[in-house]
Structure 1
Amino acid sequence: MNVAIIGTGSWGTMLAILLARNGHAARLWARTEEEANLLNAERENRAFLRGVLFPDALIVSADLPRVLAASDFVFVVTPAQRVRDNARHIAPHLPSRAIVVSCAKGIELTTLHSMSAVLAQELSSARVCVLSGPNLAREIAAGLPASSVVASADSAIARAAQSLLMSPTLRVYTHDDVLGVELAGALKNVIAIGAGIVDGLNLGENAKAAFITRGLAEMTRLGIKLGAQAMTFAGLAGLGDLLCTCYSEHSRNHFVGMEIARGRALAEIQKSMRMIAEGVPTAHAARQLAVREQIEMPIVEQVYQVLHAGKKLQDAITDLLAREAKPEIY
């Protein structure tokens, strides 16, 4: 298969490596000739995935038409807020038969649309599916076991992507709940920032377990209201990715929470990071969705208040614990 990967971050690079290892003709798009030449010369992405060498079958190019030419699959692996812009660049060169795989975990701030919806709007003739799950790039690069989920309303598309990605160490499942898989992947980043704060303040394992569990309840509640399946949030894209992101030392969103707990300003933290912590803009988008849909999401609300409204951490904790008594399931 001919496969194009749009995005040279850690996950985009890892997907390109994985697909090349699987025997496919993988072409990774770099934004500049300078970046493409550097990656081709070094045969590794030292900025984001140092020490993981590129297979011979992997080509890096800044020539977008060349990267997309004759592609059977196109993986869009860019920050969520840049997906629409990248899709507009892709559109004139996208082969009509190509399956587009959305890999960004976020919600577009200006429209509150999912990433697959954005891609469908900009690539009107494309067949779009979603890849998500608890997938840390460096672990997959090291050959450690992992699982992913591919979601599409068209089971044939999901199975095709599943077959493309399956490897001896990566097990891929299919799903038909596209919205649920996307919402779970986006919302878990907000909860992970809060979990990082819990860890940074040394609030204990009881608090962290409660925080993650109640965060999952909020994710599920919003998903059901928007038309997703409840069980999706108990699967790989939901609970699986949530646990991974809340506990991993490699999680950017957990890192943001830890640093906020240490007293650093959000702008300073973001400036120091090479990659985007998607939970920061998603906290804003999730809050807007909760308000619009009249859904109670107290954890999302407090994370939003801390990140974007300057609320003090202790005040946010106090407000969460002082809420009126409720049944666990409502």
Structure 2
Amino acid sequence: MAKIVVLGAGVMGTALCVPAADNGHKVLLVGTPLDQDIVVTMRRPGGIHPKLDAAPPAGVEAIRFDELRSEHLANADIIVVGVSSPGIGWVTDILNRVMTEACPIAFVTKGLESAGSAVSTYAQTLPSRIPLMSAFIGIGGPCIARELANRLPTACIYACEDISVAEQLAAIMQTDYYRLSVTTDVTGVEACAALKNFYAIGVSAMQTRYPDQRRADGQSKNPTAAVFTQATLEMARLCERLGGQTTTAFGLAGLGDLHVTVGGGRNSRLGQGLGTGRTVVEMLSSELFGETVEGVDTARVLANMALEKQHTDEGPLAYFPLASAIMDAVLQQKRFSLDFSNLIVQ
């Protein structure tokens, strides 16, 4: 039996407790300062997580962040970080304060960081900020937390530079419904985890930009398919520029996760709003007010990268036309517009 500590009682952190507990492991779920009410609810007999429609299984103990002590982390086999990107600073502070022995740490947090013109993944920046982290593990792939919490079939990928560490965690977590693969391309998995939120904005815009009233859902399909393919190609190129492998973008961490993100969530809702001609500011001040839309933060970080143009015999061609269109909408508050003649058709 392994000892697992999960930081973050939001939807994904809590959902990951389910396969861990189903495998008979001891799981401690630690809420963030934003999770106080959730922890109180889950401590009640039969307490259901308000956003998962499921109660944590037996074997999961939930505590508040201010109850966390060094002894809670002692002899832990793995620490799992399940907070959103704005919570990374809090996680770094609390781990450096409470950890007393080395331990591998797995992250479902998605984001990129910039220093000047350099853009990096958490796999490249966090190890130096948490000295007692013995290994960084990135968790990627298509995973809707509510579905995992309700034990619907899910496939994800665990990444670590030391493949044996990824394999050990996968062995702890894998069930008949939670299927896992492993890779050493931790930078690629982390890059795709952030980039798919960004690209989901542009792909989702196609769902409303070209309506088809003869369909039950009112959506034409060709534009979305074309831009989904474009997004995957651009993800592969950006993944390589960030230090990962292009092939990672064509697997679970890339196109797989992009597919499920386009299917719903905050980035998808923003994109659908942009497809109707609204601006980012209009969406963030109305339907998405107070929401963390990770793709918007990623756009701001990508602004530090030079998304150059490719020159062909016919003249300049945007090398990242979809990324450029999304960034214009986010950073310059333009109405979303994508010139299909710039798409890279293969």
TM-score (norm 2): 0.84
- AA paired with 1:321? F
| Cα distance in structure 1, aligned partners of 2:288 and 2:73 | 32
1:226-305 mapped onto 2 (5 Å cutoff): 226-246=242-262, 248-249=263-264, 251-262=265-276, 263=278, 264-271=282-289, 273=291, 276-291=292-307, 296-305=319-328
Q: CA deviation at 1:22?
A: 1.8
Structure 1 residues 266 and 307: CA distance shift in structure 2, 3 A: farther
Structure 1 residues 29 and 149: CA distance shift in structure 2, 3 A: same
| Cα distance in structure 1, aligned partners of 2:175 and 2:309 | 40
Q: What is the aligned partner in structure 2 of residue 158 from structure 1?
A: 166
Helix, strand or coil at the partner of 2:182: strand
Deviations 1:10-49 (A, max 9, x none): 1111012221122111111113555433321264454321
Structure 2 residue runs of 5 or longer lacking an equivalent are 212-219, 311-317
| Cα distance in structure 2, aligned partners of 1:188 and 1:280 | 11
Structure 2 residue aligned with 1:118, among 104, 125, 131? Answer: 125
Once structures 1 and 2 are overlaid, which stretch shifts more, 24-33 or 147-156?
A: 24-33
Q: CA deviation at 1:192?
A: 0.8
| Cα distance in structure 1, aligned partners of 2:240 and 2:251 | 15
Helix, strand or coil at the partner of 1:289: coil
Aligned pair count? 318
Q: CA deviation at 1:173?
A: 0.5
- AA paired with 1:25? K
Greater share of residues in helix? 1
Structure 1 residues 125 and 149: CA distance shift in structure 2, 3 A: same
Structure 1 residue runs of 5 or longer lacking an equivalent are none
- AA paired with 1:256? L
Deviations 1:275-321 (A, max 9, x none): x32111112222323449999322112112112321023xx23xx23
| Cα distance in structure 2, aligned partners of 1:45 and 1:312 | 41
| Cα distance in structure 1, aligned partners of 2:5 and 2:308 | 37
Once structures 1 and 2 are overlaid, which stretch shifts more, 17-26 or 80-89?
A: 80-89
CA RMSD of aligned residues (A): 2.4
Structure 1 residues 37 and 124: CA distance shift in structure 2, 3 A: same
Q: What is the aligned partner in structure 1 of residue 22 from structure 2?
A: 21
> Are the counterparts in 1 of residues 103 and 132 from structure 2 also a CA contact under 8 Å?
no
Structure 1 residue aligned with 2:88, among 80, 83, 86? Answer: 83
Q: What is the aligned partner in structure 2 of residue 2 from structure 1?
A: 3
Q: What is the aligned partner in structure 1 of residue 340 from structure 2?
A: 321
Greater share of residues in strand? 2
Q: What is the aligned partner in structure 2 of residue 312 from structure 1?
A: 335
> Are the counterparts in 2 of residues 80 and 108 from structure 1 also a CA contact under 8 Å?
no
